[in-house]
Chains A and B, each alone.
Chain A
Amino acid sequence: MNDTVNNKSQFIRLTRSQRIQHIILMISTTLLIITGFMLQADRWFISVLGNASEAVFWWRGFIHRVAGVVVTVICVYHLIYVVVSKEGRSWFLDMLPRVKDIVDAWQNIMYMLGFRKERPQMDRFFYLEKLEYWSVYFGMFVVIVTGTMMWTEYLWPKFYIDVAGAFHLGEATLAALAIIVGHIFSVHYNPHVYPMNRAFIDGMISEDLMKEEHRLWYEREMNKKENQQNGVDDNAK
């Protein structure tokens, strides 16, 4: 069961701005996946929908474009957010890849294979979370550029559009599989958070999960808290 329910100590994992960004990204990406991959099963949809298929496919194209614009806007907003805001800068710096991530990955694999007794101690974001985050940068760049090209197909030679289409579908397939295999597992089917990691709703993470998955961050936060308390106590004296 979800550890966040059973533990009294809670830590802030996601701020309100980050949760709103995540929700917008989640909804628009889901819409993009559904309306995009409908094209790969168009014959089945047409056979099922009959006369309604014309209207449904018109709306499919419309929704796909609207969701595409929304995802572009939220990506641009996020870029501004990580530059301008303090919490954004902190997020970005903590997300930067480090040599320790490679060591963590190796040690974690060894732990999961039973060759290590303890999990490596990881920081605020561990290597898989960083991989996911930076994959979104790469993926969004590819799909936004190629999607814009396909939207303005009359401006481009057919060869460019064919290449753009291949990249768009390829990246969309990669992203969809990554979301299903990686993200959905880690935030839903991972035994530590099953059936759902509620951080994207309330922004909180339990103490147990902090210790398990973000030990270094937990210790840093506790030290910070202790220092603050000592500072208060000293001041009080």
Chain B
Amino acid sequence: MPSEDTKHCLKCLAVDLLMGLVFLALIGFGVWLIYIYFLRGPIDIETRGFVSRTVRSEEVQPIHVEKYRLSHFHNLDDVVLKGIPSESLCVKCHGDYPHTKEKKTRSFFNAHAWFMACEVCHIRPDNAEQVNYLWLEADTGEALTTLNGQPGVYGGQIVPLIVENQAQKRLDILSVTDQEFGEEFIKLREHLDEGQVKWSLKKIHKPLAKQAVFCDECHTRDGLLDFSQLLYSSQRVLHLQSLDMASMVKAYEEFHLPSLLDAR
């Protein structure tokens, strides 16, 4: 039988061991805190509330998306590709990031091109037309029923569907004849004269609105997009409707950035 002294020593040793381990854990946690706050680089605050953080299956994940999210945008050199297959004729000529002209707003528009079909903004439905905007699964074209994944990366994109005779028709897929005409034009463009190119481009772009849908037409109450129909949570709907984009765009239709950012 161990003596009382031995028992006492063993008890002290156990306490010391436990306290030592706790001490090491606390020091480790403290060092990690210092690392994340001071040494890890720019801090991205994410306040997503109850939004799911689970990543969807790999095949629909955008290429380099993790690197994109981890890097500060000023240091980003890699081209980030959508990785979502698209049959859109627009993308064939203009690419995943088509907005290049307006340097001060193109990032906003290209950020939206990440998860929206071009036709959402570039086709304006007539008053008489009923258009539904839905998230369609990238591979199957089926409507998503829930939004799983990182914001904007749900494995599909927002697509406008026009309702005709109680049937829904995708506005981002051209009629067979238009599609064939467009593909033929892409093939033969080099051999066409200036007049033929101009005429063909006019024909291809005819359905598009002269003035694209702007930020404050969607990011507002009763806007063009019904965010509830787009499966966002009620909290997220309020957020999207009340984004300062709308007021910012109204108040500052011209973006005044410091002149040092302008090219000389």
* Distance from A125 Cβ to chain B, minimum over Cβ atoms (Å): 24
A183 to B18, CA, bound (A): 18
Say which one of B52-60, B95-103, B182-190, B207-215 lies at the interface with A. Answer: B52-60
A53 closest partner in B (C-beta):
B54
> Known interface pairs A46-B53, A53-B53, A189-B23. Does A170 touch B37 (Cβ–Cβ under 8 Å)?
yes
A179 to chain B, nearest CB (A): 9
B34 touches A177 (CB 8 A): yes
**Which residues in A have their C-beta under 8 angstroms from that of B27?**
180
Report whether B50 and A58 are in contact in the complex, using a CB–CB cutoff of 8 Å. Answer: yes
Q: Which of B18, B29, B52, B235 makes the CB contact (< 8 A) with A180?
A: B29
The answer to whether the Cβ of B107 comes within 8 Å of any Cβ in the partner chain is: no
1/0 per position for A169-187, CB-CB distance to B under 8 A? Answer: 1100100110011001000
Task: Say whether B243 contacts A158, CB under 8 Å.
Answer: yes
Residue pair A162, B54 in contact (C-beta under 8 Å): no
- Which residues of B from 44 to 93 have beta carbons under 8 Å from A? 45-47, 49-50, 52-55
Q: Shortest Cβ distance from A236 into chain B, in angstroms?
A: 45
A61 surroundings in chain B (CB, below 8 A): 49-50
Q: Which residues of A contact B30 (CB under 8 A)?
A: 176-177, 180-181
**CB-CB < 8 A to B15: which residues of A?**
195
Distance in angstroms from B232 CB to nearest chain A CB is: 11
Closest Cβ neighbor of B23 among chain A residues: A189
B36 within 8 A of A: yes
Point out the residues of chain A lying under 8 angstroms from B45, CB to CB. Answer: 161-162, 165-166, 168-169
Complex Cα gap A153–B37 (Å):
23
Complex CA gap A58/B26 in Å reads: 26
For chain B, the count of residues having a C-beta within 8 Å of the partner chain is 33
- In the complex, are the beta carbons of B54 and A54 less than 8 A apart? yes
Tell me whether B205 is interfacial, beta carbon within 8 Å: no
Q: Is B244 an interface residue (CB 8 A)?
A: yes
A177 and B18 CA atoms in complex are apart in Å by 21
Q: Which of A154, A180, A188 contacts B238 (CB 8 A)?
A: A154
Q: In this assembly, does A129 line the interface, its C-beta being within 8 Å of a C-beta of chain B?
A: no
* B248 nearest CB neighbor, chain A only: A157
Evaluate contact between B43 and A166: CB separation under 8 angstroms: yes
Q: A153 and B19: CB pair below 8 A?
A: no
Residues of B within 8 A of A162 (CB): 45
Q: Once bound together, how far apart are the Cα atoms of A62 and B53, in whole Å?
A: 14
A46 to B53, CA, bound (A): 8
Roughly how many angstroms separate A61 CA and B50 CA in the complex, as a whole number? 7
B102 to chain A, nearest CB (A): 21
Q: Does B9 contact A (CB under 8 A)?
A: no
Chain A residues contacting B163 (CB-CB under 8 Å) are none
Contact of B244 with A57 in the complex, beta carbons under 8 Å: no
The 4 A-B residue pairs with the shortest CB-CB distance, nearest first, are A165-B45, A154-B239, A154-B238, A54-B54
Give residues in A with beta carbon < 8 Å to B.
Answer: 1, 37, 39-40, 42, 46, 51, 53-54, 57-58, 61, 150-151, 153-155, 157-159, 161-162, 165-166, 168-170, 173, 176-177, 180-181, 184, 188-189, 194-195
